[in-house]
Amino acid sequence: MRWWVIGVVSLVVGTASVQAEQPQVEVVKMPAQIGTRYFDPKRPPRERPPLTGIEEAVCAGDFLSDAAVGSQAQMTDATHAKATINKIKVTLQLNITIWLPNNPQKWTAEHEEGHRQISEHYYRNAEVVARRVAEPYIGKSFDISGGDLRRALSAAIGKIAEEITNEYNRRMPVETTQARYDAITDHSQKDIPVADAVAQALKETYPAGSGIVPASMSPPGAGADKGAVPKF
């Protein structure tokens, strides 16, 4: 007997003669959602991320990724089976909220825009990163065992899905670049153009071999396109 799992719990029972679907990776990249919220510094809303040190504003970027893993399993006996991954769907999303005090200073708003640009730069080719993470899993086989093979398979592919999203996050070290940007600008206190600071931060911290060029090297006309929410 063979069965297919898409996600964690969707099961389809078939016969041994049914051919497996063609191996594939699908990446769905949702449009970035960007917004600005203003607050009274004396009575900030509870949902605003906390400020530290000399900060007057904050840019919160939430990089979301969700992986659904499909597999085909061949039973060898009542309590053992071999499963092969044949489909992966990764859904990506970026939510950015810039929190500014009422009537902010120009340089404060410009500094937070720099944080936004860095997040969007990472997200521009996030699809490439996610695909590179997911593709090596296609065709991989693994053994499962237990009295409830469907449950065992569901748990196994759930773990694989978590591995994919964790690796995607590891290859998108946006917080490192954001921290370097803050260091270069001293949180907007230094008189350095935002564009120059963003380009320098990307040049110094962007992962090599990622397939995305830093902002200072981007071709003309290039556009910007579950866990804790980083704040910058």
* Beta carbons of 124 and 224 less than 8 angstroms apart: yes
Number of domains in the chain: 1
- Domain assignment present for residue 220? The answer is no
Distance CA 178, CA 191 (A): 18
- Domain assignment present for residue 25? The answer is yes
Amino acid at 67: A
The pTM for the full model equals: 0.79
- Domain assignment present for residue 126? The answer is yes
- Domain assignment present for residue 228? The answer is no
- The average pLDDT across 101-122 equals 96
Distance CA 3, CA 12 (A): 5
- Domain assignment present for residue 10? The answer is yes
**Is the pLDDT reported for residue 225 higher than 80?**
no
| 110-145 burial: b if 16+ Cβ within 10 Å, else e | ebbbbbbbbbbbbbbbbeebbbbbbeebbeeebebe
Question: 189-204, pLDDT tens digit by residue?
Answer: 999 999 999 999 999 9
Q: Which residues have CB under 8 Å from 178's CB, separation 6+?
A: 61, 115, 118, 119, 201, 230, 232
Question: 135-170, pLDDT tens digit by residue?
Answer: 999 999 999 999 999 999 999 999 999 999 999 999
- Domain assignment present for residue 106? The answer is yes
* pLDDT the model gives residue 8: 30
- Domain assignment present for residue 98? The answer is yes
- Domain assignment present for residue 231? The answer is no
Range(s) of the domain holding residue 81: 2-170
**Nearest to residue 167, comparing CAs of 106, 90, 62?**
90
Residue 186 tokens read as: 């001293």
* pLDDT the model gives residue 53: 84
Which residue do the tokens 């500014």 mark? 100
